[in-house]
Amino acid sequence: MRTLLPRLLALTLSAAFPLPAFAAQTYALVVGVDQYPNDVSLDGAVRDAEDVYASMSAAGFKVKKFTNAEARKDDLRKAWTDMVAEAVSGDTIIFTYAGHGAQMPELIAGDEADGLDEFLQLPGFDRNRYEETSKEIIVDNEMNAWFAEAEGKGVHVLFVSDSCFSGGMSRSIKGKSRLAPAVTVKLAPPSQEAVAGAALKEINFKQVTVLAASLESQPTPEVIIDGEPRGALSWSFARAVEGSADRDGNGIITRIELEDYIFSNVKNRSEALQVPNFMPQVARSESEVVVTLTRGIPAATGDTATTTNDAGTIPKTIKTVKELGWTGKIALQIDGEAARPTDAEGTGTPFRWDVATGTFYTPNGDVAAENVGADRIQPVVDKYVLLDFLKAMASQNPGTVSLAPVKDIYAAGQRLRFDAPPGRYPNMLVFNLANTGEVQFLDMQAAGTSSSEFKLTDVEIVKPFGADHLITIWTGEPVDAIGAVLSDKNVTAATLLQALLTRLDGKEASVAIQPLYTRETL
């Protein structure tokens, strides 16, 4: 996949952001488009925009939001110009876009290594009437010109693009891709700015960070989150701005904090379909700030967890999973005659169980388990109720694990390696939620000053196929009782859920989830 990021790859990005004062203002331009009269419409981009808008407004940002037909280029340009005019050095402008992206032959010969320019597609664009509607696209060159205006005033820019420009996928996903058809014929530039902006690739941008939904080789699909089609990047960014990415609770989100949070939660929420892409790829410094939470983090009430930074101990609220929207149920569509399992009366886009074939599908359309009969459906349902619980926990404090080689799906006979690095907490639990619903205990480390690395090497993919989820939990809370539950060879997902609810819900714990999708052949 090729996004707006390659446009910035040629830039020399070496300087660090200065640490902004808390008085600095953050402006935001939020765009979300579902309704494309001249193209395939989307289902979740406006939800993304509304979610991001709400989180930014609560954080004290000055936000302008444009959705569907409101997203006209002239109006977006004016909003950007007004923000740049009002902003002063040290302020930040965040531009978030959820909608279609597309490609076109390069506007300036020799300007692009692959001969293609990328553009954000607004609802008024019709590729069959390009001359009449060309002003309703925003080309990568134009984006550079916009960014340069802010850069010239010493204003920081964060561009979050939840869109798609190319790529394909191996897994069968029924959600829509945020990829519009490419323009295939050579066209005139949509604006003089699109021509002039080509020269800006040599500018040494020092205060611009771009965050794209996926790597070049991947699509950006809409996935099901909390029962609704969403963009995994937008959902994760909204949670980040709510304060979840502010690991030390000091009211600012550094580039490193944002990376750690976004990478983990996009993987969790997209079921490992996406890997976000930052530009520059490496933080300019350890203290580089990308988001200032103007209002800071409110003092916690009730149960709180504390984290420590150089300024001392700062209270930070840890919500319970129910406060985060967890219901303890999943939605399930049953195709065929069978009794409904318990905890399968949830709402939203459902899982699907084909009774005749025994195939169990995720809301995204993936095959999660095979040969699921009436005697096995309850453990599979219980697994996903537990997994939703763990995803809710991870949304507040995600951990990082890795699977190599990185693929969205693995075939029988392939070998892989799983690594869980040491956490910043002394206790660690590692287990697998198999596609059968079985809980497989892998490791427990307790009562140390810090956990040590856990590795699974040379693991071979074998039957049964479907979706496994490798789970790692790091915490300062005692884990012996949970370990005792896990070590019981007859442990079920429902029993483990009760142990985790009792011991860790509302407590400080970091959770990492590594989806592992398998098939007999690709």
Mind giving me the DSSP string for 372-441? --TTTHHHHHHHHHHHHHHHHHHHHSB---EEES--S-EETT-EEEEEE---SSSEEEEEEE-TTS-EEE
Residue 10: is its pLDDT beyond 90?
Answer: no
Long-range contacts from 140-143, C-beta under 8 angstroms, 24+ separation: 140/4, 140/7, 140/197, 141/7, 141/107, 141/108, 141/111, 141/117, 141/193, 141/194, 141/195, 141/196, 141/197, 141/198, 141/200, 142/190, 142/191, 142/193, 142/194, 142/197, 143/4, 143/7, 143/197
State the pairing for strand pair 367-369/509-519.
unpaired
pLDDT in tens, 75-111: 999 999 999 999 999 999 999 999 999 888 877 765 6
* Cβ-Cβ contacts under 8 Å for 224 (sequence gap 6 or more): 175, 230, 348, 349, 362, 363, 364
Token digits for 281? 């790829």
Token digits for 12? 């020399």
pLDDT of res. 104: 82
Residue with the two structure tokens 């140390």: 448
Banded model confidence at residue 178, pLDDT cuts 50, 70, 90: confident
3-state secondary structure of 317: strand
Q: Exposed e or buried b for every residue in 392-420, given b needs 16+ CB within 10 A?
A: bbbbbbbbbbebeeebbbbeeeeebebbb
Pick the residue with more confidence: 312 or 451? 451
Q: Exposed e or buried b for every residue in 154-163, given b needs 16+ CB within 10 A?
A: ebbbbbbbbb
* Cβ-Cβ contacts under 8 Å for 375 (sequence gap 6 or more): none
State the pairing for strand pair 367-369/359-361.
antiparallel
pLDDT in tens, 248-286: 888 899 999 999 999 999 999 999 988 899 999 899 998
Confidence (pTM): 0.88
pLDDT of res. 394: 97
Residue 347: φ, ψ to 5°: -115, 170
CA–CA separation, 272 vs 402, rounded Å?
A: 11
**Is the bond preceding 298 in cis, omega lying within 30 degrees of 0?**
no
> Given CA atoms 82, 289, 242, 401 in this order, what sign does their dihedral have?
positive
Q: What is the mean pLDDT of the chain?
A: 87
Looking at residue 221, what DSSP letter applies?
Answer: B
CA–CA separation, 120 vs 104, rounded Å?
A: 11
Tell me which residue of 61, 95, 9, 46 sits closest to 229, measured CA to CA.
46
Bridge partners, residue 367, by sequence: 361
CA–CA separation, 489 vs 470, rounded Å?
A: 17
Is residue 66 within 8 A of residue 28, CB to CB? The reply is: no
Residue 313: is its pLDDT beyond 60?
Answer: no
Token digits for 202? 């040599």
C-alpha separations of 512 from 260, 274, 357, 425 in Å: 11, 16, 32, 13
CATH class of 5-301: alpha beta
pLDDT in tens, 123-144: 999 988 988 998 999 998 899 8
pLDDT of res. 317: 82
Domain boundaries, the chain: 5-301, 318-522
Residue 295: is its pLDDT beyond 60?
Answer: no
Is residue 266 within 8 A of residue 276, CB to CB? The reply is: yes
Work out the number of other CB atoms within 10 angstroms of the CB of residue 295.
13
Work out the number of other CB atoms within 10 angstroms of the CB of residue 42.
26
pLDDT of res. 5: 40
pLDDT of res. 311: 41
Of 155-169, 173-187, 220-234, which gets the smallest average pLDDT? 173-187
3-state secondary structure of 253: strand
E runs forming strands in 213-311: 223-225, 228-230, 252-254, 277-279, 289-292, 304-309
